[in-house]
Amino acid sequence: MSRVCAGGRYNVARLKAEQRRSALMQWYMTRARLQARRLGGWVALLVLLTSGCSRADLELADGSRASFADWQGRWIVINYWAEWCAPCREEMPELNALHRAGADHVVVLGVNYDGVQGPELERLIDLFAIEFPLLLADPGPRFNQPLPSVVPTTLIIDPSGALKTVLVGPQSFEDLADAVELPATARPTGPAAPRRVASQPLSA
């Protein structure tokens, strides 16, 4: 009887001690899992933010890369042009003027309609006297826009990143300035600066 009781008391005490150790271990494991989950969440968020902010998925003709996020808060003008398009050549000085006048307000980008790259594109940049950056790939799909059927065509993207309007045909500086709501203080008031034009004739 005594042995049974003693044995019973010993087993009960041992069981309680093991239960306390098990509960304590479970508490530590639960806390460790929560901390790991919290840390993992922050790490995942940090990776997501840094990858999203640093992703430069636009390749420019000068070899650099950029992202539309770099220009958040500014208007974006995307102009499609081609070597065989005489109106495109006529429009280039207007786009150059907008590029110079609205540097803090608007970003002007060009896209060669025929997808020309490399030395041939460099030749066309000089031929058309283009002063603003050129994209090597059509960004139209980002704005649910197919490749234009007419050039020149210009996409106007508002500061929120939404497509505001599509301008077809050559535009004047004032047309472009109005489209991007360029402040009056940024618009030239004196004599227009001499236009940089190409010295070689365009092919028909």
**So what's the pLDDT on residue 44?**
47
Q: What share of the chain is helix, strand, coil (3-state, %, to 5)?
A: 50, 15, 35
End-to-end CA distance of the chain: 116
Task: Give the pLDDT confidence score for residue 49 in this predicted structure.
Answer: 45
pLDDT digits over 51-82, tens only? 444 466 899 999 999 999 999 899 999 999 99
Q: Are 166 and 154 in contact (CB under 8 A)?
A: yes
Give CA separation, 119 vs 53, 61, 122, 126, in Å.
31, 10, 5, 11
Question: From the CB of residue 132, how many other CB atoms can be counted at a distance below 10 Å?
Answer: 17
Amino acid sitting at position 144: N
Confidence at residue 4, expressed as pLDDT on a 0 to 100 scale: 38
The secondary structure element, H or E, covering residue 102 is none
What pLDDT is attached to residue 57?
86
For residue 197, the model assigns a pLDDT of 40
Helices (H) and strands (E) in the chain, counts: 4, 7
Instruction: Collect the ranges in the chain with pLDDT lower than 70.
Output: 1-56, 190-204
- C-alpha to C-alpha distances, 110 to 3, 71, 115, 188, nearest whole angstrom: 95, 15, 11, 22
Residue 28 has a pLDDT of: 55
CA-CA-CA-CA torsion sign (23, 24, 25, 29): positive
State the pLDDT at residue 50: 47
What six digits make up the tokens of 114?
């025929």
